[in-house]
Structure 1
Amino acid sequence: MTNVQQGGRVALITGASRGIGAAVARLLASRGMRVVVNYRSSRDKADDVVASIGSTGGRAMAVEADVRDGDAVLGMVEQVRAAMGEVEVLVHSALIPYAIRSFEEISVDELGSKVEQEMRAAFLVTKAVVPDMTSRSYGRIVYLGAVLSRRPDEGMIALGTAKAALSSFARFVAQELGPRGITVNVVAPGPVGGLLHATLDQEQQQRMAAQTALGRIASPDDVARTVAFYAGDDSGFITGTTAPVNGGLTMD
C-alpha cells in the first residue's frame, strides 16, 4: 500500500478487481474520485485496475479484504483512512458465491448460506464506513442488486432471494441514515455481458438479449454509469430506491 495524493472524494468499491466493480472504479476515478479497489484473492487483476486508473491520471489503491470477515473489513477501512482519508462513497459490488440449483434441488443450507453471507458482507462494510460518513454529514452508499430479486429465473433462487433481502435492508438503512446526510440506493442489473460468457453460449445470450426492449444485454459500463449517478452529488435527494438497469427486461 502506498500513500495517495489528496483531493476528490474517497470511494471504496468492493469486489473491484473485475467486471462491474472494475468498471465502476475506472469511471469514478475518471470523475475525480480517489478510488479503493477492494479484492479478496485476485491481486494481479486489482493491480491492473489500479494501473489503468493511474495511466489516465486517476488516483487509486488496491486493498485486500474478504468482506465477510469483520476484522478484515475494519482493517481495510483503517488502511484507507491512513492513506486517503475517510470513506465518503461506498459501492458494494463484491459477488458472494452461491449455488445454482432449482428449488427442488437446493438444500436449506445452500439457500441459507447465500442469504446469510450476502447480508453479512453488506452489513459489515456498511457498519465500517458509516461512522466517518456521519462525522462528515455526507455519504453515498450503493449496493449491487439483481433483477432476479423481482424476476425469477431457473436455478437462481439463492441469488434472487439474497438480493431481495439486500434491497429490503437498503431501505431500512436509507431511512435511518437519511438525517445524517447519507443516501442508500440499489442498482439492480439484468444479465451483464462478460459475466455471462463463461456460463452461457452465444445462442443463449442472443435469446436473453431478445427478451429486453433494447435488444441487448448490459455491459459493465452500462451498470457503472448508473452506479456513478448514485455515487455523485446529482443524486443527493434520492434515497431508498432501486434502479433496474436491464434494458426493459422488466418494467414498472
Structure 2
Amino acid sequence: MSERVCLVTGASRGIGAATARELACRGYRVVVNHRDSATTAEAVAGDVRTGGGEALVVQGDVTDPDDVTRLVETTVGHWGRLDVLVHNAMAPFPVTSFADLGWEQLGAKLDQELRAAYLLTHAVLPGMTDRSYGRLVYLSTGLSRRPRDGMIALGVAKAALDSFVRYVATEVAPHGITANVVAPSTVEDTAVGDKLPDELRAQLAAATPMGRLARPEDVARTVAYFAGDDAGFTTGSWAPVNGGALMP
C-alpha cells in the first residue's frame, strides 16, 4: 500500500467520487471531503474500503477558512502527511445570459471559486514544501476557453482559476510541487451536467467527435495521472477531457 495521501474535495458524487475510487485503486489513502452529503460520502468511503483501500470522510466547506484548516489538520493528524490535493468541489452558479446576469451573481461565483482554491492551496503547501513533494490538481472546464450560452458565470470563474493555477505552478515548482488543471467538457452524472435538458445533452454528445459525453471515470483517470509520479515534470498544464470537442 502506497504511503501517499490524497485529499479530494467534493468527493461525495460525480467526478470527486470517481476520483477517490480511482486513486484508492492505485494505492492512495483517500480523504473523502463533503460539505453536506455525509451519507453519500460514507458510501464512497465504503466502496474504497471494500476494495481493500483506506478512506477517511471529513466534512468541510472549502470556502470557510476554519473548515479548510480543520480539513487539512484532520488529514495530517490521521495519516501524518498530505501529498496530493484534488480540488473538485463546485460552488453553485446561475445559468443565465450576460444581459440577465447581476454583478452580485458573477461576483459571488468568482469569490467562491477563487476563495476555495486559495484557502486549500495555502493550507496544504507548507507541508508539501517541507517534504519537497506535492501534487496540486484543480478541476476546471472547457467553458473557460469556449463559451456556451448561459454559462458565463461558470466560464469566467474557471478562467480565473486557470490563471491562478499557472501562477501557483510557477512559484512552487522549485519545491518539487506540481500544479495542473484538468478541464472536462460536460460530464454525465454531475451537478453541472444534470442542470442541462436531455435535448441539449444529446446535442453536445452528437457534436463530440468520440460520440458521447465525458463520464466521471474518464476525468478521474486523467486526474490520477497528474496526481502520480509519471507527471512529475509536468506543471502549469491545462488538460482537456472532452472526446475531441475542444482541441486547444
Give the Å deviation of 1:82.
Answer: 1.0
Give the Å deviation of 1:200.
Answer: 3.2
SS at match of 2:195: coil
1:161-200 counterparts in 2 under 5 A? 161-195=156-190, 198-200=194-196
In 1, Cα distance between equivalents of 2:157 and 2:80 = 32
Match of 1:92 among 63, 87, 93: 87
Structure 2 unaligned blocks of 5 or more: none
Deviation digits for residues 157-206 of structure 1, max 9, x if unmatched?
00000000000000000000000000000000001011266333433222
How has the CA–CA distance of structure 1 residues 7 and 55 changed in structure 2, closer, same or farther, with 3 Å as cutoff? same
Kept after mapping to 1: 8 A contact 2:82/2:127: yes
Please name the residue that 1:102 is paired with.
Answer: 97
| Pairing 1:245–2:241 present | yes
Deviation digits for residues 44-76 of structure 1, max 9, x if unmatched?
000000001000100001000100001110111
Please name the residue that 2:62 is paired with.
Answer: 67
Give the Å deviation of 1:7.
Answer: 4.7
Please name the residue that 2:48 is paired with.
Answer: 53
In 2, Cα distance between equivalents of 1:197 and 1:103 = 20
Structure 1 unaligned blocks of 5 or more: 1-5
In 2, Cα distance between equivalents of 1:141 and 1:102 = 32
Kept after mapping to 1: 8 A contact 2:186/2:193: no
How has the CA–CA distance of structure 1 residues 70 and 54 changed in structure 2, closer, same or farther, with 3 Å as cutoff? same
In 2, Cα distance between equivalents of 1:200 and 1:111 = 20
Compute the TM-score of the two structures, normalised by the length of structure 2: 0.97
Aligned AA for 2:200? Q
Aligned AA for 1:90? L
Match of 2:22 among 15, 24, 27: 27
Match of 2:122 among 106, 122, 127: 127
Question: Identical aligned pairs, as a percentage?
Answer: 54
In 2, Cα distance between equivalents of 1:70 and 1:63 = 15
Match of 2:207 among 211, 218, 240: 211
1:115-154 counterparts in 2 under 5 A? 115-154=110-149
SS at match of 1:198: helix
Aligned AA for 1:211? A
Kept after mapping to 1: 8 A contact 2:109/2:157: yes
> Number of matched residues?
247
In 1, Cα distance between equivalents of 2:196 and 2:108 = 25
How has the CA–CA distance of structure 1 residues 216 and 53 changed in structure 2, closer, same or farther, with 3 Å as cutoff? same
RMSD of aligned alpha carbons: 1.1
Aligned AA for 1:113? A
How has the CA–CA distance of structure 1 residues 223 and 234 changed in structure 2, closer, same or farther, with 3 Å as cutoff? same
Please name the residue that 1:3 is paired with.
Answer: none
In 2, Cα distance between equivalents of 1:68 and 1:131 = 19
Give the Å deviation of 1:41.
Answer: 0.2
In 2, Cα distance between equivalents of 1:198 and 1:133 = 36
